[in-house]
């Protein structure tokens, strides 16, 4: 159960309290609701000499959801916890829809329209190309995630005596773990490259050679129409 965050009349954060204590303070008219989420109450008096235990924010970032918890390092107690739902995928879909709309509008056969007179309008209405991006540039979907986490960290620091922040960083590459020497095309395609194509062709030809009919031997994929003569990697169904 998450505790209730507390601040005094001077907006100083104090030790979070149990919800039952918060209800008693509200019932006795000694405090009022300051914010609903995160649920915070404000005392009607100042407590400058109160002993406050330092707390730590722990962040577990994710592409769709980020977990945030306020923990007391001395006791190991989780004081407050929540999950942030990110809008990264919604922003990506909105940008894709806008790009498609603008592309169709440019290719539409309509009357000639003179370009805007102001050059700043034309430049400010486009995303920078990869060669013009500054160092540290992030996609809008990723920036939304960063700003969302930053906003909540700053907000919680106002209502709780937080003195430290920890973030979980886990990076691993399963391909390099299995084969440290992997590189080039093999690394880019991965271990399952062509797996579905091979399985489909084996089922189509009865798991036997299309020329001689032999089974239980290593089989190779071959183009019916060689690529050198205009063939492709497209699978012909049927």
Q: How far apart are CA 48 and CA 12, in angstroms?
A: 8
Helix, strand, coil percentages (3-state) for the chain, rounded to 5, are 35, 20, 45
71, 58 Cβ separation under 8 angstroms: yes
Tokens of 118: 């102001």
Residue 158 and residue 92 share a domain: yes
Say what the pLDDT of residue 115 is: 61
Residue 92 and residue 190 share a domain: no
Question: Burial code of 153-180, b = ≥16 C-beta within 10 A, e = fewer?
Answer: eeebeebbbbeeeeeeeeeeeeeeeeee
Residue 113: inside a domain: no
Q: Which of 61, 64, 89, 68 is nearest to 171 (CA)?
A: 61
Residue range 152-186, pLDDT digits in tens: 999 999 999 999 999 887 766 767 777 778 777 77
Residue 8 and residue 95 share a domain: no
Question: Which residue segment(s) compose the domain that 218 sits in?
Answer: 184-229
Residue 195 and residue 151 share a domain: no
Residue 218 and residue 142 share a domain: no
Q: How far apart are CA 133 and CA 153, in angstroms?
A: 28
Residue 116: inside a domain: no
DSSP, residue by residue, 212-236:
T--BSS------SS-GGGT--S---
Q: How many residues does the chain have?
A: 238
46, 9 Cβ separation under 8 angstroms: yes
Say what the pLDDT of residue 127 is: 57
Say what the pLDDT of residue 225 is: 80
Ramachandran angles phi, psi of 77, nearest 5°: -80, 135
Residue 17: inside a domain: yes
Q: How far apart are CA 80 and CA 72, in angstroms?
A: 10
Residue 200: inside a domain: yes
Going residue by residue through the chain, which has 238 residues, state the pLDDT in tens, using 9 for 90 and above.
689 999 999 999 999 999 999 999 999 999 999 999 899 999 999 988 889 999 999 999 888 899 999 999 888 899 999 999 988 888 888 888 888 888 887 777 766 666 655 544 455 555 556 556 777 788 888 888 889 999 999 999 999 999 999 988 776 676 777 777 877 777 776 655 666 777 778 888 888 888 888 888 888 888 878 877 877 777 766 5
Question: What's 30-53 look like in SS3?
Answer: CEEEEEECCEEEEECCCCCCCCCC
Residue 122: inside a domain: no
Residue 57 and residue 99 share a domain: yes
Q: Which of 42, 41, 3, 43 is nearest to 19 (CA)?
A: 3
Residue 99 and residue 59 share a domain: yes
Q: Which of 130, 202, 167, 160 is nearest to 55 (CA)?
A: 160
Say what the pLDDT of residue 238 is: 56
Q: Identify each DSSP E strand in the chain by its residue range.
A: 4-7, 13-17, 31-36, 39-43, 55-60, 65-72, 77-85, 162-167
Answer left, alpha or beta for residue 59, where phi above 0 means left and psi between -120 and 50 means alpha: beta
Tokens of 197: 């194509």
Please give the tally of structural domains in the chain.
Answer: 3
């Amino acid at each position: 159960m998450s505790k209730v965050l507390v601040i005094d009349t001077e907006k100083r954060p104090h030790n979070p309290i149990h919800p039952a204590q918060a209800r008693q303070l509200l019932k006795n008219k000694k405090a009022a609701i300051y914010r609903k989420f995160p649920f915070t109450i404000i005392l009607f008096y100042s407590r400058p000499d109160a002993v406050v235990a330092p707390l730590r924010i722990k962040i577990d970032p994710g592409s769709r959801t980020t977990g945030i918890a306020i923990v007391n390092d001395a006791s190991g107690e989780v004081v407050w916890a929540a999950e942030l739902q990110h809008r990264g995928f919604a922003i990506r879909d909105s940008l894709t829809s806008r790009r498609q709309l603008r592309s169709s509008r440019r290719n539409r056969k309509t009357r000639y329209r003179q370009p805007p007179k102001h050059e700043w309008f034309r430049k400010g209405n486009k995303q920078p190309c990869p060669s013009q991006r500054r160092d540290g540039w992030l996609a809008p979907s990723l920036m939304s995630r960063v700003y969302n986490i930053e906003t909540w960290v700053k907000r919680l620091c106002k209502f709780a005596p937080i003195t430290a922040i920890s973030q979980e960083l886990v990076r691993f590459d399963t391909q390099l773990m299995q084969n440290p020497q992997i590189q080039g095309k093999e690394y880019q395609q991965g271990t399952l490259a062509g797996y579905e194509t091979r399985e489909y062709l084996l089922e189509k030809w009865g798991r036997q050679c299309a020329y001689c009919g032999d089974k239980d031997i290593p089989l190779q994929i071959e183009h019916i129409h060689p690529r050198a003569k205009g063939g492709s990697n497209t699978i012909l169904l049927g």
